[in-house]
Chains A and B, each alone.
Chain A
Amino acid sequence: MEIALTLNQRTLIVSLSGELDHHGAEQIRTLIERAITEKDVKNLIFDFSALSFMDSSGIGMIIGRYKLIKSIGGGVALVCTNPRMKKLVTMSGLSRLISVYSTVDQALSEVKGA
């Protein structure tokens, strides 16, 4: 799994490629937590458009970050086009907490507008 972090004003975009599982989720958690404290991050966008695999550990990781961002009054969005991942997002109820977009631009205008 590869992780790229981009800061767009106070929105942190976390772009992942490769496979996200429990092992990878632990790494991402640490990286995001550090970025949030060091860079005054308010909103979070998970860009999973280049991710080829995800299991329920990815859902747990997003929910954890969602709670954190919520507590500082920010917003979280997910960019995802893979049907199987979208199914996981719906099944778990995550889609009731955060919105899912097909492009980062759409997600950006949404979290910034909020």
Chain B
Amino acid sequence: MENRMKLEFLSKSANEGFARAAVAAFVSQLDPTLEELADIKTAVSEAVTNAIVHGYGHPDGIVTITCELLQTQVKIKITDCGQGIEDIALATQPLYTRSPDAERSGMGFTVMETFMDSMVVESTLGQGTIVTLTKEIGTIS
């Protein structure tokens, strides 16, 4: 199976549910288990929320998701052109959050890492952030 899709939407929190549902619907072509689908939905929700809350912090930005299916692998890229991350090593540490008063637990990146097979974060200050997530479907790991 080889397939690809691209999704663009405004950085409004109301789009968080739409984004993870759309990715889940697309990935369904690989016939994932409910568990695998829930893992992917959770990871996408984390990355999209980060793009909306931290990347932009306003509802006029564009969040882009591309999703590729390659045989049994899913590769999802979540991109924002927001403020970027200064120190990626620090930001990806469990429980690290820039905004504890805003009731964030600092678990987003840890959740993505735990629920997916791999996570790569690329970011440039003032230009934006790309989070790439991959997962093998239908293989018992």
Contact = CB atoms under 8 A, between A and B. Distances in A.
A69 to B, nearest CB: 14
Contacts of A88: 107, 111
Closest 4 CB pairs of A and B: A64-B103, A23-B13, A56-B107, A60-B103
Nearest to B110: A91
Nearest to A64: B103
Given A21-B49, A56-B108, A91-B110, A84 B42 contact: yes
Given A63-B105, A84-B38, A55 B13 contact: no
Given A21-B49, A55-B46, A91-B114, A63 B103 contact: yes
A55 B49 contact: yes
Nearest to B39: A84
B71 to A, nearest CB: 26
Contacts of B105: 56, 59-60, 63, 92, 94
B46 A56 contact: yes
B85 interface: no
What bracket does the count of chain B residues touching chain A fall in?
20 to 34
Nearest to B108: A56
Interface string A14-54: 00000101110110010000000000000000000000010
Interface residues of A, number: 23
Contact of B45 (A55, A61, A92): A55
Contacts of B39: 84
A10 B129 CA distance: 45
6 contacts: A21-B16, A22-B13, A23-B13, A53-B42, A64-B103, A87-B114
A26 B102 CA distance: 10
A79 B94 CA distance: 25
B4 interface: no
Contacts of B108: 55-56
